[in-house]
Amino acid sequence: MEIVEEKPLIKKKEHIEIKDLSSFEHFKQSLHLMAKSEKSLIFMFIINFLVSLQYYILVTLIPLYFSNEHGFSDLASGIIFGGFGTVIGICSIYLSSNMHVIGFKRGLYLSFITGIIGFGIMMINMTYLSLFAVHVVQAVSCSLSWPFVEYGIKEFSTKEVRSISSSCFFISNYAAGITAGVFIDFLWYYMTDHSLMYFIVYAIGILALFIGIIFTIYSRDIEKIEQEEFSFKQVSSQKRFWRYCSLIFLLILLRSACFGHLDATLPKYMVRVMEDNAHFGVMLTIHSITMMIGVFSLTTLSFKFSSYSLIISGGLIGALGSSLLIFEDEMWAFVVFVMAISIGESIWVPRLLDYTYSIAPEGQEGIYLAMSNCPFYFGMIITGSTSGLMLDNFCPKDDTDNCRFIWLIVFSSSIVIPLMLVVFSRLIKQPDNEKEPYLSCVNREKIG
């Protein structure tokens, strides 16, 4: 693994200096400094927990909800799941690039209000209304939340606590996953009326978003978001943009080929293979607990290794985790799979955010932050579709003999992505000092 020291391209004046410390001492010092940060930074972590709870409720229940409540096939419910992510991705890029127009707190308020409306519509439990709520209302809500929270964390933190702040962002995210998993598994197991269960879970989502509004009220607003007026031609004229697009494209494939199946495939797979003993909510809880511990404890790696190297390592660990399910479908095998996925994700996901912070040009952070979430959103359409196809063909409700073939496909398709990141690293990784930042075919005078 390559050991480098990454230098942010955008230099800002910092008032706190951290001396040359060991990784562990650096980590402790970062925690100490973050504890002294303004309260709005802490509020961002709380708000992130609440909007992440909304997201985990949706991605965990959408495939089951549309299959069980509205009679959709595995493929159709998978496409609905993927469509939800795709709309989020498209809206996220557009809305984040207009962050300076929307305003920081207004964007968060809009996210909360649309999310509340979306859950309210889903509680009516009518097919077309639920489809509208998921693909329009909830998608807009989710597309606003994370990019705006990430921007708030960037603005409310200093460079010295940026890595630990990124880790805390994901810790709060996965704490929400634990909460969602516990609630869903408990209600699924003990309530025979699953329609009522969906209603209760959606009500919990509404309550969380109302609490989010309260914390937003007491957070500091960012009155002037430093975002340049720029055209796509200006952004796309830069080599770094296309390098970053290449990285995001491969991570979309990685997420859809491997990590996304934790949400899209595993719940239904466990229900069919293990029937009444399928505690898929427990798997989500294990995932989130492992993620929290991993994100917190593995942050020290970011002080020694480059973000790009850690992205590769995390992807490789996650891809290898699916290999066990080719041979076993017992509970312990599911636990090992979930833990491997979680450890890998806890390594590469926070470091992608760090990498994005370091290479995003000043004034264009919104578009880069939106793109950094694309692996989670756009990966869902591929994961949802392939999940539905694999379940229909290899693991239908009435024939589970060939179910393990699903994981052979998952492993085979995902293991190549980390290898591609290694092979093409010179083309994808942003160099520290780039003599010619623009494409050779671009006339810089014309793009301004």
CATH number of the domain that residue 288 is part of: 1.20.1250.20
| pLDDT over 70 percentage in the chain | 89
Residue-level pLDDT at 204: 94
More confident residue, 315 or 21: 315
- Least confident segment among 5-14, 301-310, 438-447: 5-14
Would residue 199 count as lying in a domain?
yes
Would residue 328 count as lying in a domain?
yes
Retrieve residue 170's tokens: 């994901």
Would residue 4 count as lying in a domain?
no
Domain span holding position 120: 39-223+238-429
Retrieve residue 257's tokens: 């080929």
Residue-level pLDDT at 35: 76
Amino acid at 259: F
Residue-level pLDDT at 247: 94
Instruction: Give the residue-averaged pLDDT of 404-423.
Output: 93
Total domains, the chain? 1
Would residue 435 count as lying in a domain?
no
Of 10, 374, 39, which is closest to residue 226 (Cα–Cα)?
10
Of 109, 98, 30, 100, which is closest to residue 302 (Cα–Cα)?
30
Retrieve residue 256's tokens: 């859809």
Of 99, 83, 437, 383, which is closest to residue 253 (Cα–Cα)?
383
Of 48, 13, 7, which is closest to residue 151 (Cα–Cα)?
48
User: HEC string of the chain?
Assistant: CCCCCCCCCCCCCCCCCCCCCCHHHHHHHHHHHHHCCCHHHHHHHHHHHHHHHHHHHHHHHHHHHHHHCCCCCHHHHHHHHHHHHHHHHHHHHHHHHCHHHHCHHHHHHHHHHHHHHHHHHHHHCCHHHHHHHHHHHHHHHHHHHHHHHHHHHHHHCCHHHHHHHHHHHHHHHHHHHHHHHHHHHHHHHHCCCHHHHHHHHHHHHHHHHHHHHHHHHCCCCCCCCCCCCCCHHHHHCEHHHHHHHHHHHHHHHHHHHHHCHHHHCHHHHHHHHHHHHCCHHHHHHHHHHHHHHHHHHHHHHHHCCCHHHHHHHHHHHHHHHHHHHHCCCCHHHHHHHHHHHHHHHHHHHHHHHHHHHHHCCCCCHHHHHHHHCHHHHHHHHHHHHHHHHHHHHHCCCCCCCCCCHHHHHHHHHHCHHHHHHHHCHHHHCCCCCCCCCECCCCCHHHHC
Residue-level pLDDT at 293: 87
Distance (Å) of CA 279 to CA 83, 334, 429: 26, 10, 40
- Least confident segment among 38-42, 56-60, 263-267: 263-267
Would residue 315 count as lying in a domain?
yes
Note the pLDDT tens digit of each residue in 101-156: 888 899 999 999 999 999 999 999 999 999 999 999 999 999 888 888 988 888 88
Of 130, 6, 16, which is closest to residue 67 (Cα–Cα)?
130
Residue-level pLDDT at 441: 63
pLDDT at 32 over 60: yes
pLDDT band at 210 (very low <50, low <70, confident <90, very high): very high
Would residue 21 count as lying in a domain?
no
pLDDT at 1 over 50: no
Q: What is the mean pLDDT of the chain?
A: 83
Q: What are phi and psi of 441, to 5 degrees?
A: -90, 0
pLDDT band at 280 (very low <50, low <70, confident <90, very high): confident
Instruction: Give the residue-averaged pLDDT of 298-308.
Output: 84
Retrieve residue 339's tokens: 């833990």
Would residue 396 count as lying in a domain?
yes
Question: Any bridge partners for residue 438, and if so which?
Answer: 238
d(CA 141, CA 51): 9
Instruction: Report DSSP state, residue 177.
Output: H
pLDDT band at 315 (very low <50, low <70, confident <90, very high): very high
- Least confident segment among 20-29, 239-248, 429-438: 20-29
What is the pTM assigned to this prediction?
0.72
Of 200, 188, 163, 185, which is closest to residue 34 (Cα–Cα)?
163
pLDDT at 399 over 60: yes
pLDDT band at 13 (very low <50, low <70, confident <90, very high): very low
Would residue 58 count as lying in a domain?
yes
